[in-house]
Every structure is written in structure tokens, then in C-alpha cells.
Amino acid sequence: MFDHLKEIYYVAWADLRFMRHTMVNVLIMSLMAPLLYLLAFGYGMGRGIITEGVSYIAFIVPGIVALTALSASFSSTSSRMNVQRLYYRSFDEMMLGPLRLSSIVIGKSILGVVRGLISCLIIFAIGMMLTSELQFTPLFVLCMIVSCLTFSLLGETAALLAKTHQSMSTFSTLIILPMTFLCGTFFSIGSMPEWLRMVLYALPLTYSSTSMRESALGWSFSVASLAMLVAFGIAFYLANIYLLKTRRV
Amino acid sequence: MRCQQSASDNERDATSGRTGLSAFADGGSTDDIIVGNNITKKFGNKTAVDNIDLRVHRGEIFGFLGPNGAGKTTTIRILTTLANLDSGTVVINGHDIVRDTIGAKASMGVIQQHISLDKDLTVIENMQQHAMYHKLPRPERKKRIDELVEYIGLHEYVDYKVDALSGGWKKRAAIVCALLHSPQILFLDEPTVGLDIKARRLIWDIIRKLNKSGTTIFLTTHYIEEAEALCDRVAFIDQGKIIAMGTPEELCKKVGATTVEYFDGDKKTKYVYFSSRGEANDFVNTLGANDTVTIRNTNLEDCFVELTGKSVGGN
């Protein structure tokens, strides 16, 4: 177990070093979009609106935190891995080390988890300054960690599937962008038509938004949402192990 | 008739003397560090590596020689576990690369054709990262990096970002990274491609020094002079198949140890191979007085052309 943890650290070390070199850029990139969403939707459109018994700003902050987990964790992991794999080819150097595949998959997700958590915490802290209805609870922190890990593992899947930088953009446009606007960030998915709701329940951000909102607003917590998020994380993890095992030249 | 003794003869003789230094030049050792059987790899309908068998003796410098696209890089990627086998088996230092991948990886260092260092990091950070990939404990990590940086002469550049270095220095940094865990076998894929002559010779010296200290070397190249300067044994690969394998002397003998190269009345350079210089001289005496004739030792380029019908450059 200790050996396994050491391997994970060894894999993550260079990525964290890279993050240290680019910290300011990281924060600007991770926070710009969520802050704009917060201003435009929270202050611009949602002032005075009550949604599901709370102010709209309190309603959307957990959703925007979930969205931040998605965008920061996914993009930091996928773009770094994509560059390492297709341009620097330093990914091969890691694959040449005598490391377990499980250590590689988890180790490569750490950058996304750390960046995601930093960005989420900043957005949530801003949200708490804007409204007193939000609660910072251990359950909320757990939901944040699971979300960041799941989306970081999804970023790895995208990077391992990508054959070019262009195919990464295609993946983001087809999978990430629809999730951004549809998975309950800005409105309750209960208001969507039945068929679309079915589609949205097949996407991980829906469960991330739901579990974060429930835990941050003190609503009754549905364990099923968190369990589904964990299930998505496990599925992405297994997909990554499979892709590493069967990769082609 | 002008009869020339090739300028490369002296070099060739020197080369023969050098290969004689190796304990494995006769291919007689049974202690094989690489044992590959029926190695096959396909990409769609194209067979990149076609059922090859390979034995590399512990302590030798083994060269894999062939034109671009012959299957050299695919073979080295299979041997180093970066590409999966379609069929066949490979055992590296006693570890089957499929069943004991981690054991096989721990025995090898790899220097890829393209510099594969992380360009977002400094040279020293890349070295630290590699040492971690190979699980070197912290005190040993620093010691090994210091030793190798000194050995390769990189100390001035360790704090530079990788992209600030020239091709030769990047290659040297890659060599340090590949050697940190003291591998028993070092794989080099086209180690000097794109380097100037000075950098190339420095890399050759490093390879020789490493080999003298006991590291087995497996290198691919399409430079004949590189194979001749370094290798105890070579294999010719073409269209995914091994055409011939042996010491340079064995391969040259197979074709004929002496080459007569002449420019004839058809305005074409022709090559004829003889087992002795006496036979070559007899043949030269039969040629026309205006032909330009060179008698020289047969080299690996001659062998490759004779055995495959094409040059190592790929034409």
C-alpha cells in the first residue's frame, strides 16, 4: 500500500512541479469562466429570483462549483497529458518506468484534482461572501473531491483517446460543452422534458451538481447521486487502465 | 587503369582491431540478455515486424540496421514494452515482457529517437522525475544525478529549461535520464540522427564507455559508419524481416571480404566481391585500361546492398 502511494506521488511529482511553475496562469484560466457565470447569471439575471426555496445566487453557486470542478480538473489533466503524449513524448518515458498501471492512472489525475480543488474552493468562498445560505460542510468537501477526481479521470480518458490536438477540441465540444449548460448548473433539471432528463442522467456533471447543491444548501442528501458519481469515476479509471494496456504505437 | 587503395581501408582495419576487443565478437556467448522469438507486429494489413527471432548477448553492442520504415523503431518499441506484440515472445534479462513487464522495465534504459524530455521542466527536474519513475530512494537519487551529470559533462546546463539546449546537449540529458537506475541494457533508437559530427562522436564515445563498464547496448541506426564504428554484431532488417545477423566481419565474409568497385564503359559504378585480395587483383587485371578501379575491404553498406538489393538510405 505504502509502495503504491509512493508510486502515485512519483507520477504526480512532475505535474505538480509544472503547476508550481504556472500557478498564476492556472488560477486565471480556471477562475475566469466560473466568475463570469457567477456575475452574468447570479447577479445579472438572477437577482431577486427564488429557486426551490433559496435565492438564485445560492442555487447556482454549488452548480458553478461543480462546473468549475469539471472544467479545471478535466482541462488541466487532459491538456497536460495530451501535450506530454503527442508533442513532448515524455509520456513514453513514464511508461518505461517500472510502475503499476493503477499508479500511473491515479498519479496522472492528481494535477487535475489539485487544480480543481483550488479553483472550487475560491469560487465557493466568493459564493459564501455573496450569500449566507451556503454551508461549508465535510460532505460538501467530499463531493468536491469525488467530482474533481472523476472529471480528472475523464480528462485522462480523453487524452488517451486523442490522436491529435484537434480531436481533444472535438471531445470538449461534444461532451464537455453540453454538460456545462444542461446538467443542472443554472437551473433544476426537473424543469426539463422527460426525454432530455434521461439523457442528462447519463452525464456525470448532473450528479456532481446535485450532490454539491444538496450538501451546500443543507437539503436532504441523496447518497445515490454521490454513488453514481463514484461509479462514473470507477468507469473512467477502468477505461484508462484498458487504454494503457492495449495502446497502439 | 588506376588502381586505388581505399582511404577507408585503414579505418576498416582499425575497426577490425576494435571489434576484436569484445569478448562477444564471435557471437559465442550463450548468456543472452534479449531473447526474442517469432516477434510479429501488424498495423492493419501492413506487417511492420514479421516473425523475427533475436538474440542479444550480455555485454555486447548490438546494431539493428536498416532503411527508414524497415521496422527498426517498431521492434525497439516492442522490446521496450512501448508497443504490444501481436504474437511471439520477448524475454529481457530473464523477464518476459508480457508476464513480468515491471521486471523487464527495471532492467532497461531507453533513449528514444525523438527527444522525449518534458519541455515544461528544467533539465535537473527531468532527471529527478526519471529517478522517481525508477523508484530511486532520495539520497541515491541525488548521488546518481551528480555522478552522471559529471560523467556526461552536463553540469553547466542542469538548471536550463530543456528547450534552451542544442540537440546534442538534449541527447546527453536524455542519456543521463536513461542511465540513472543503472540499467543492464541500454536501448538507443537512432542515437545520433540530426546531430552534427562533433556531437555524434561524443555520443559514440559515451556509448563505448558505457559498454566498457558492462552495459549491453542495443541500437538502431541507418548510418552504416555508426554501425561499423560501434557494433560487435549487427542485424540487417528490411520490410520487417531480419535479412542477416552476425559480426561485421562475418557478414562481410558472407558477401566476400574484398570489393572491387569500378566505373565501366556503361557509365555505371559496379561492385564485385571476392573472398581474397588475390582474386580481386586477378579480376582487376581483366578490366579495361580506362576504367577507374578501387580495391577495398567490403563494408556493411556493400553487404546490405548485396543482401537486400537496396541501400540503407532506402533507395
Cβ-contact A229, A211 below 8 angstroms: yes
pLDDT (0 to 100) of residue B15:
34
Q: In the predicted model, is pLDDT for residue B20 greater than 60?
A: no
Cell of A19: 503547476
Question: Is the distance from CB of A103 to CB of A8 less than 8 angstroms?
Answer: yes
Question: Is residue B95 within 8 angstroms of chain A, CB to CB?
Answer: no
Contacts of B132 in chain A (CB under 8 A): 9-10, 13
> B77: distance to nearest CA of chain A, Å?
8
Q: Which of B120, B125, B134 sits opposite A97 (nearest CB)?
A: B134
User: pTM for this one?
Assistant: 0.86
State the pLDDT at residue A33: 85
pLDDT in tens, B86-112: 999 999 999 999 999 999 999 999 999
* Residue A20, min C-alpha distance to chain B (Å): 11
pLDDT at site B30: 52
pLDDT grade, residue A165 (50/70/90)?
confident
For residue A40, pLDDT beyond 60: yes
Averaged pLDDT for residues B63-85: 93
Report how far residue B175's alpha carbon sits from residue A137's, in angstroms, rounded to the nearest whole number.
Answer: 50
Inter-residue contact B168 to B153 (CB < 8 Å): no
**pLDDT on residue B19:** 30
Which residue of A10, A92, A98 is in closest CB contact with B82? A92
Grade residue A149 by pLDDT with cuts at 50, 70 and 90: very high
Local confidence band at B147 (pLDDT 50, 70, 90 cut-offs): very high
CA nearest to B126 within chain A: A14
Instruction: Quote the CA–CA distance of B155 and B166 in Å, as a whole number.
Output: 15
Average pLDDT on B156-173 reads 92
Q: Which band of pLDDT confidence, cut at 50, 70 and 90, is reported for residue A90?
A: very high
| Residue A90 to residue B43, Cβ atoms within 8 A | no
- Decide if B209 touches A, using CB distance below 8 A: no
Rounded to an integer, what is the distance from CA B254 to the centroid of its chain?
20
Once rounded to an integer, what is the mean pLDDT over residues B248-270? 87
pLDDT at A43 over 80: no
Tell me how close the Cα of B82 comes to any Cα of chain A, in angstroms: 7
Residue A96 to residue B106, Cβ atoms within 8 A: no
Is the pLDDT at A45 greater than 80, yes or no? no
Whether B125 sits inside 8 A of A84 (CB atoms) is no
Confidence (pLDDT) at B22: 34
pLDDT mean over B265-278: 86
Q: Please check whether residue B170 touches A, CB under 8 A.
A: no
Helix residue ranges per DSSP H, A69-130:
74-82, 90-95, 101-130
Confidence of residue B1 (pLDDT cuts 50, 70, 90): very low
pLDDT range class, residue B312, cuts 50, 70, 90: low
What is the nearest CA distance from B134 to chain A, expressed in angstroms? 5
Q: What is the pLDDT of residue A46?
A: 66
Q: Which whole number is the average pLDDT over A125-130? A: 92
Strands in chain B per DSSP E: 2-5, 32-43, 46-57, 61-65, 87-92, 95-96, 108-111, 185-189, 216-221, 233-238, 241-246, 258-263, 269-274, 292-297
Q: Give yes or no for residue A118 having a pLDDT over 90.
A: yes
How large a percentage of chain B has pLDDT more than 90? 64
Residue whose C-alpha cell reads 498519479 in the numeric block: A107
- Grid coordinates representing A101 are 498501471
Question: Angle at the Cα of A69 (from A68 to A70), degrees rounded to 5?
Answer: 90
Question: Residue B313: what pLDDT?
Answer: 55
pLDDT 10s digits, B165-203: 998 899 999 999 999 999 999 999 999 988 888 888 888
Count of residues in chain B: 315
Provide mean pLDDT across the span A72-89.
94
Distance CA(B95)–CA(B101), nearest Å, equals 7
Contact (Cβ atoms closer than 8 angstroms) between residue B178 and residue B134: no
Cα gap B224→B222, rounded to integer Å = 6
Q: Which residue from A21, A99, A248 is facing B133, i.e. has the nearest CB? A: A99
Partner A contacted by B132 (CB < 8 A): yes
Is B84 in Cβ contact with A93 (below 8 Å)? no
Q: What is the DSSP letter of B156?
A: G
Q: Give the pLDDT confidence score for residue B292 in this predicted structure.
A: 80
Nearest CA in chain A to B129: A14
Q: What is the mean pLDDT of chain A?
A: 92
Q: Is the pLDDT of residue B13 over 60?
A: no
Which of A96, A110, A243, A247 best tests the B interface by mutation, with the highest count of B CBs <10 A?
A96
- Contact B188/A at CB under 8 A: no
Q: What is the ipTM of this complex?
A: 0.88
Eight-state DSSP code of residue B122: B
Residue B260 has pLDDT above 50, yes or no: yes
Min Cα distance B101 → chain A (Å) is: 8
Contact A18 B108 (CB under 8 A): no
With H, G, I as helix, E, B as strand and everything else as coil, classify residue B54: strand
Of residues A163 and A113, more confidence is placed in A113
Which chain A residue's Cα is nearest to B138?
Answer: A10
pLDDT of residue B23: 32
Shortest distance between the Cα of A247 and any Cα of chain B, in A, equals: 7
Asked if the C-beta of B93 comes within 8 angstroms of chain A's C-beta atoms, the answer is no
Nearest to B116 among A9, A88, A97 (CB): A88
- For the cut 90, the answer to whether the pLDDT of residue A99 exceeds it is yes
- Mean pLDDT value of segment B258-276: 86
pLDDT band at B69; cut points 50, 70, 90: confident
